[in-house]
Structure 1
Amino acid sequence: MQTISIVIPTMNRLESLKRTILYIAQSTVLPLEVIVVDQSSDNTEIEATKEFLEKQSVNCKYVHNDEPSLTKARNTGMLYVHGDLVIQMDDDVDVKPDTLSSILNIFSNEKIAMLAGVNEGFNSKHRSLIGFLFWKKNWRKRNIGHVVKSMYGRFPEYITKETSTEWAMGFFSVYRVALIRKWNLKWDENLTSYAYAEDLDFSYSYFKKAKNEGLKCIMSSLVIVKHNVTQEWRIPSRKHTYMIINNRHYLRRKHFGNSPLSKIAVCWADWGEYLRRLLKNEAAKDWKDAMTGNPL
């Protein structure tokens, strides 16, 4: 039987981490290891995290990174992975008792290379026509998970037992360790701090490699988790807004080079998001400042 390693980056969110670990410990099939990469700077929280992990029935390994960086944390975690499969997940996710066993069943098919987790409550019937208008979604690919030239990752309209995808969200995604190492893939450390879109970048790179080898990347209604999106500690909203725009422009160049269509798509999608925020009164000024290069 294949084995599963889990990598969980965390920083200043001990209560969220505790909940996540306790849910994992209730799995019908336990992981080989849970590698927690902590980026907290408070010594009291660091010691409390170590103490909590030492008391768990599931095999937990504590690793500390001094520099707060989600991409560095994910790369660091991979150095300690011994399993056949790796789940890269956030520290605020509830898994079901059968989540890991379902993953093992899915990956018994050797053609499956990647599994993207689905968040509980996913509304498959919601369709935003504005998203298609501003090139944040692709109409032709609307029935699969896909990446558009404006550097947004999009879920399909409907998710079945096996639905193709070109990307996976970072809160919960599963990869074959041997393929990550074979293809020498790493999370891009040019994406710093919270590293918005690091998940899209890594999973889309992985998908392209898998596609070239005739392997499949999927999401499945059999693997649904609950992403709690904790408010215990989060990046300030204005900084996050600047990160969204800057990182998407960087990734557009990385994945599509000097493609004029991709450049137009990113800019057009930016204006579409500005319009949406303006209409909903959602920090539209921050978005426009970031678009026009005003200082943070």
Structure 2
Amino acid sequence: MTDALALKPDLGRYGVWTGGSPTPEQAAEIERLGYGAIWVGGSPAADLAFVEPLLAATSTLQVATGIVNVWSAPAAPVAESFHRIEAAHPGRFLLGVGVGHPEATAEYRSPYRALTDYLDALDEAGVPTSRRVLAALGPKVLELAARRSAGAHPYLTTPEHTAGARELVGPSVFLAPEHKVVLSPDATAARQAGRDAVGFYLRLSNYVNNWRRLGFTDRDVRAPGSDRLIDAVVAHGTAQQVAARLGEHLDAGADQVTIQVLGGWKQLLPTLTELAGPLGLTPRD
């Protein structure tokens, strides 16, 4: 193993993506099931106050942000939060940073420059590149992630995107794509759940443009989204079928797949429990 590869974050093969923070009790169960990390989305505030309770309730689980938004969480207090967490729980927090989408942020301007300025501020505050990743879809930001962070956290992508990203950034860069799941043998119901979750993103240019780069047509990305698109970004079926789909990201070069369970908090632990065996995870007694 090269020195560069040895510096990659090790979060395990599978993590869990949540829209907002789970409870410490849920985090403990996620760890017990064998998942390596929780990625907390929803543009968390700069104080990152949710992180320590999750780490205190667990022993090996890592917590990542998926992602801190540069427009709503200034770099200086985020860096202070990083150092606070790192002092209490060394090596167990990964800072995910991104620019969000222009349609959702009034201040959105020169996103690439805003991201590089933010990274400069993190550098000045001593946040190590080995403990931060960037939300990245297109080649320009993927290349930035490879140069200025440990790697990339692509959202709403496919194994084909993972393969292209791996080819672009090389073997030493950490890749942790997100993928949505619905455990249901009813394809119609599962696709509807997928459309309920994906519909918002059909109005956002960065996701639509990324899907077009992957070969999806205007018809595919027009609301409410074609079956082809929904099936590509939402894994559904039996636990074995969903696990096989998630494994395609690993085969394509992902270091970790971050699983977003659709259907609300009540579905989170039952779904993760059913998936653990087919994913090859070993629950703790």
- Structure 1 length normalisation: TM-score? 0.29
CA radius of gyration, larger in: 1
- Structure 2 length normalisation: TM-score? 0.30
